Structure 1
Amino acid sequence: MTRVILITGGARSGKSRHAECRARALPGGRVYIATAEAHDDEMRGRIAKHRAQRAGDGWTTVEAPLDLVAVLARTDGEGVRLVDCLTLWLSNLLLAERDWEPEAARLVEALRRQSDPVVLVSNEVGMGIVPENALARSFRDAQGWLNQRVADVADEVEFVVAGLPLRVK
């Protein structure tokens, strides 16, 4: 049985919707692991939209803006977990001035130990122009490395473009 599924793509590509469909197709309970933090009205609106999409559909929501590994450990055995998304989790780590590389290594090891499936959503941010400032370049590079590490341990990887999933692995 597939244990780890990585769904990646650009902004507004349909990756979250596709990930939810993949998670719904798996048997057992469903846990939505939300990494977003609502710092402004626009983000509050996005979070509300995602919650409304899952309302009444058997999801349990757990918020994990920083300690994703602990939440994965705690929820293993409760059914499929959908992590939305690794990009926001990485942003949260960087804003909290935490070293993302050891956190990424911990995540990869945790994914290897999961008994229930995990579907992870992540943005592909490295396909555009090279950012003009060091912070943006650093984030783009970190996101690329994180996606590679998770893809390496994933049983399946899908790239979503224009709402259409393309199987990569």
Structure 2
Amino acid sequence: MLIVLSGGAASGKSAHAERILCSHVREARLYLATMEPYGADAAARIARHRAFRAGKGFETEECFRGLAGLALPKRYDGILLEDLGNLLANELFAPYAAAERAFDSILAGITHLQTCCETLVVVTNEVFSDGLPYDAETVGYIRTLARLNAALAMRADAAAESVCGILVPAKGGELL
């Protein structure tokens, strides 16, 4: 099963993702982190997310790029991928990254993760509605994330957006 959750910054999407995965999966939960720990702000966000997961039975792995080649130590009942926006930024902007292959690489990685678990919950970002002008590189990132979000929503058994902490189902609401 594939569940996709989107939302803006601090919208509650991570808490919803954890709740949903825990409701579907009793054991063998993996939190797959994509945020590279650069700087104090990133370290604080990572610490906050670890604190949220405490006591919920999650193992944690980090994968910053190349998801399709990730070798996990076992098969999991459920995997929470947090988050698609960071993974895309890593694939597009990291030194020696293959930006032109980022879209296909990430979709291949999602397909690979689906073979590693029964339930995959993907957290992604809603970054398309602020109406601000951006440079060409950022516009490329936004467009690619939009394409990824659309492709995953089409594949998903359930998809929803977290808006101010309220989960708004777009597809498969009974699974949320």
Structure 1 residue 38 corresponds to structure 2 residue 37: yes
Which string of whole-angstrom CA distances, capped at 9 and with x for unpartnered residues, describes residues 56-110 of structure 1?
Answer: 2211000011122333x63672211000000000000011232212213313533
Contact 2:79 2:117 in 1 (8 A): no
Structure 2 portions without partners, runs of 5+ = 172-176
Contact 1:158 1:166 in 2 (8 A): yes
**Structure 1: how far apart are the matches of 2:165 and 2:73?**
29
Aligned CA distance change for structure 1 residues 34 and 108 (closer, same or farther; 3 Å): closer
Contact 1:4 1:111 in 2 (8 A): no
Normalising by structure 2, we get a TM-score of: 0.87
**Structure 2: how far apart are the matches of 1:79 and 1:4?**
12
Structure 1 portions without partners, runs of 5+ = none
Which string of whole-angstrom CA distances, capped at 9 and with x for unpartnered residues, describes residues 31-69 of structure 1?
Answer: 000000011101100001111111222110000111223
Which position in structure 2 is the counterpart of 1:5?
A: 3
Which position in structure 2 is the counterpart of 1:154?
A: 156
**Structure 1: how far apart are the matches of 2:74 and 2:154?**
21
**Structure 2: how far apart are the matches of 1:147 and 1:75?**
28
Q: How many residue pairs are counted as aligned between the two chains?
A: 166
Shift of 1:149: 1.1
Letter of the 1:18 counterpart: H
| Bigger shift: residues 125-134 or 17-26 | 125-134
Aligned residues: CA RMSD:
1.8
Normalising by structure 1, we get a TM-score of: 0.90
Letter of the 2:155 counterpart: V
Query: Identical aligned pairs, as a percentage?
Result: 31
**Structure 2: how far apart are the matches of 1:78 and 1:108?**
14
Letter of the 2:51 counterpart: A
**Structure 2: how far apart are the matches of 1:75 and 1:8?**
28
Which position in structure 2 is the counterpart of 1:165?
A: 167
